[in-house]
Amino acid sequence: MGVKMSEKKYTKDHEWVSIDNDIATIGISNHAQESLGDIVFIELPSVGKSANAKDEICVVESVKAASDIYAPIDGEIVEVNNNLEGDAAIINQDAENTGWIFKMKVSNPSQYDELMTEDEYKNFLEQ
């Protein structure tokens, strides 16, 4: 068996989170990239920065508008997806996989449990 990855969860701000031990990988949902349209630039966060849930972490610029990305949970940024620097359109092609944006060392794992499951997120989108 490989590394145990958690089930993917979602925020109301359309970010997805998956947790491997105490490291959370975060990106924007496929729904979010569809509504943003062509993504042309991302301002990645700095590694080492600490954030609380709901803090603005970085900005995604699409052809239409700039959108803030929020920290889904408390923690410290430990890695960013540098591939996005040169080619932010990866998010359009594969938002919930290779289009991940940053990783956080989680300080409060219980916050993860409160996020929406995939089914709950789908219901949330339909509301």
Partner 1 sequence: MPLDIPLKKFHVANGAKMVPFAGFNMPINYKQGIINEHKNVRKHSGIFDVSHMGQVLIETNYLHINNLERYIPLKLNNLRKNKSNYTFLLNENGGVVDDLIVSLIDINSKSFLYIVYNASRKNEDEKIFFKCAPKAEILHEKNCLFAIQGPESIEVLNNIIDLPSEMNFLDIEVLKYKKNSVIVSRSGYTGEDGFEISISTKHAEVFVKDLLENKNTMLCGLGSRDSLRLEAGLSLYGHELNENITPIEAGLSWALDKDRLNDSSLNGNKILSDQLHNKPLNKKIGLVSVNRSMLRDGMILFDTNKNNIGKITSGCFSPNLNKSIAIGYVNSNFNIENEIFCEIRNKMELVKKTSLPFVKKNYKKNGSKNE
Q: Give residues in contact with partner 1 (CB under 8 A).
A: 37-38, 40-41, 43, 59, 61, 63-66, 92
70 is written with which tokens? Answer: 């929020």
C-beta of 37: minimal distance to partner 1 in Å?
Answer: 6
24 vs 42 by CB, closer to partner 1: 42
DSSP H or E segment with residue 50: strand 50-51
Q: How far is the CB of 103 from partner 1 (least distance, A)?
A: 22
Q: CB-based contacts of 68: which residues, under 8 Å, 6+ apart?
A: 56, 57, 58, 59
Provide the minimum distance between the beta carbon of 82 and partner 1 in the complex, in angstroms, as a whole number. Answer: 13
Nearer to partner 1, 23 or 59 (CB): 59
CB of 65 to partner 1, least distance (A): 8
Q: Which is nearer to partner 1, 92 or 107 (CB)?
A: 92
* DSSP code of residue 53: T
Q: How many residues does the chain have?
A: 127
Measured from the CB atom, the residue of 37 and 52 that comes closer to partner 1 is: 37
C-alpha atoms less than 13 angstroms from C-alpha of 51 in its C-beta half-sphere: 22
CB-CB contact of 95 with 65 (8 Å): no
